Amino acid sequence: MRSSPIGRLPSMWRAPALLLVSWRRWRPVLAGTALTTLAVGVVGRGRGELIMAVLLYAPPIAALVVLGGAFAHWRRPSVWTTIAQRRAAGIADGWRLLVLAALLYLGVLLPIAGTALATLAVTAGGPERALDRAALFAVAWGGISFLTVATVAVGVRRGVAGITIAWMVLPAILAVVGPALDLAKEVTESLAYLAPPVHAATRLHEVLSGERVDLTRRVVTHLATFPLLCAGLLTIGLQRLLRAPTEVDP
Amino acid sequence: MDALVEARGVEHRIGTRAILTGLALTIARGEVIGIAGPNGAGKSTLGRLLLGFATPTAGTITIAGVDPAAHRHAHGIGFLHEDGGRGWEYATPRALLSLHLEDPDAIRGDPICRVLAIDPLLDRRVATLSKGQWRAVQLAMALVSRTPFVLLDEPEAGLDPSAQGRLHEVVGMRAAEGAAILLLSHHLDSLAVVAAQIHLLVQGRFHDRFDPTGMSAAALRSRYTHGVDAPAADTPIVGRSI
């Protein structure tokens, strides 16, 4: 008797696995990953700025493709109702889908980032320092991108998405509004603590190497609290998604 | 009578617009109830409330004494969605059915799958199935997990007369096993085959209820037309066992 590979999984993993399998954007994702990896390896030699641009843009794009696609697929009425009608369907399904999506995200990102870092190691003038900086940035930024996009993908069309987007543009708002309001330095610094940790990812190497001890508190605060904030927003978003997505509301 | 589903004074509003008003409904274990009504009458909205996918603005709904969402979490719900099923094109029926059965190997021997004749379809991609074949697979998905409450929304859609016969057979099988079954449909003749009572839902209210046993197609149509045109009746509607 034949049996489905999905059916051989423990029952709790079948729904998230089937969601990812049936989403089925594998070919474009694999082709995009292969082409980008190849392009970075061929064109990236001697171009440190290009490598850093790849490390900056690849994580959010990969997260958007994988997470945005997977959760948009889940929101389709017939998909959502099939998942929701099962016994013990609940928020755990959402966390498990995030775990599987994270593995897929790593599968996309590792070849691209690995090739970029290897290319940098071969061609950079002062390879060790530049490589350390780029590797630390890639790890921190990869994690931040995944968490940010996951929060938006889960909370999309809901208040959570609005909060997340407003928060992501907070540095821009501060840059424009801050000088005009003539805010005190303490207020500006306090608000900076609430800003997204993009800056923290770029400064992590300097903090760890002791070059910017003054930034330690802010960088550590951002990198430590950011996952907790995202976990809270993800929990709210998943609970709302599980109650009913927009498409199946009456 | 051992009532599984009980709804009392159910109202549902979207903004200021009343979708459902003063609904009362009881479905016993082993009972099949049909709800018919014109488009926009509120059938699917009532279905979503009974499934716990939405909460009524007023009134109470319980399934086995708890609210529908809690019941769904504890026991699951056999639900056939009226939507055509876009989204599962690349899945196989076997993988989909494994969501609803702890032991996926039980699919082949399941009497419901046998009656619905889906064995040859199990390893085909959903995208390659005809509309009727996919509907049969969806029916199996709604019924194989043996949930206490089953709600089928427009189950006849896309089924030929022979497949409709199989639909009636599996609904009867689940009712005989003790499931409370609610059918939402425009097809009065099909409802009349399996439902102990048919309720007419018009503009968010139950306007009529009747036992369709022995009624001709013409009599059913006449009753439907009369019910749709009749004034609202506020009396609670209680089904009976078959």
B81-106 residue pLDDT tens = 876 667 888 899 999 999 988 888 88
A74 contact partners, CB below 8 Å, separation of at least 6: A19, A80, A83, A97, A241, A245
> How close does chain B come to A80, measured CA to CA in Å?
9
CB contact under 8 A, B92 and A244: no
CB contact under 8 A, B48 and A248: yes
Bridge-based pairing state of the strands B205-210 and B58-63: unpaired
C-alpha to C-alpha distance for B171 and B183, rounded to whole angstroms: 10
Total Cβ atoms within 10 A of residue A211: 11
User: Is the complex ipTM higher than 0.90?
Assistant: no
- Which chain B residues have a beta carbon less than 8 Å from that of A87? 73-76, 145, 147
DSSP state of B231: P
Give me the DSSP letters along A113-171.
Answer: HHHHHHHHHHH-SSHHHHHHHHHHHHHHHHHHHHHHHHHHHHHTTSHHHHHHHHHHTHH
- Which chain A residues have a beta carbon less than 8 Å from that of B147? 87
Most confidently modeled of A128-142, A222-236, B175-189, B223-237? B175-189
The average pLDDT across B141-157 equals 93
CA B206, B209, B212: angle at the middle one, nearest 5? 145
Q: Which pLDDT value is given to residue A100?
A: 94
CB contact under 8 A, A244 and B53: yes
The average pLDDT across A119-133 equals 72
Cβ–Cβ < 8 Å for A248, A76: no
Q: Which pLDDT value is given to residue A3?
A: 64
Total Cβ atoms within 10 A of residue B172: 16
> How close does chain A come to B216, measured CA to CA in Å?
34
B65 pLDDT above the threshold of 80: yes
pLDDT bracket for residue B242 (50, 70, 90) = very low
A22 contact partners, CB below 8 Å, separation of at least 6: A73, A79, B87, B88, B89, B90, B91
- Supply the pTM of this predicted model: 0.81
Cβ–Cβ < 8 Å for A79, A68: no
Which single residue is written with the structure tokens 């390896």? A41
Cβ–Cβ < 8 Å for A51, A116: yes
* Among the partner residues B87, B92, B123, nearest to A73 by beta-carbon distance: B87
C-alpha to C-alpha distance for A195 and A180, rounded to whole angstroms: 19
C-alpha to C-alpha distance for A35 and A50, rounded to whole angstroms: 16
pLDDT bracket for residue A248 (50, 70, 90) = very low
- Which chain A residues have a beta carbon less than 8 Å from that of B79? 81, 85
Which single residue is written with the structure tokens 């009712």? B175
Total Cβ atoms within 10 A of residue B231: 7
End-to-end Cα, chain A, rounded Å? 42
CB contact under 8 A, B98 and A14: yes
Q: Whose CA is closest to B155, among B23, B28, B47?
A: B47
- Which chain A residues have a beta carbon less than 8 Å from that of B86? 76, 78
Strands (E), B29-65: 32-36, 58-63
Which single residue is written with the structure tokens 């009881």? B26
- Which chain B residues have a beta carbon less than 8 Å from that of A24? 89-90
Sheet of B237-238: strand order equals B58-63, B3-14, B17-28, B237-238
Q: How many beta-carbon contacts under 8 Å exist across A and B?
A: 107
A163 pLDDT above the threshold of 60: yes
The average pLDDT across A33-46 equals 90
CB contact under 8 A, B85 and A78: yes
CB contact under 8 A, B44 and A18: no
* Among the partner residues A5, A78, A86, nearest to B81 by beta-carbon distance: A78
Q: Is B57 on the interface with A (CB under 8 A)?
A: no
Chain A contacts in chain B segment 101-160 (CB below 8 A): 102, 104-105, 108, 122-123, 141-142, 145, 147
Looking at every residue in chain B, the average pLDDT score rounds to: 88
* Among the partner residues A18, A85, A88, nearest to B95 by beta-carbon distance: A18
C-alpha to C-alpha distance for B36 and B11, rounded to whole angstroms: 18
CB contact under 8 A, B88 and A22: yes
B182 contact partners, CB below 8 Å, separation of at least 6: B5, B27, B32, B33, B34, B35, B47, B50, B149, B150, B151, B152
CB contact under 8 A, A22 and B87: yes
CB contact under 8 A, B77 and A85: yes
The average pLDDT across A213-234 equals 86
A72-100 residue pLDDT tens = 888 888 888 888 888 888 889 999 999 99
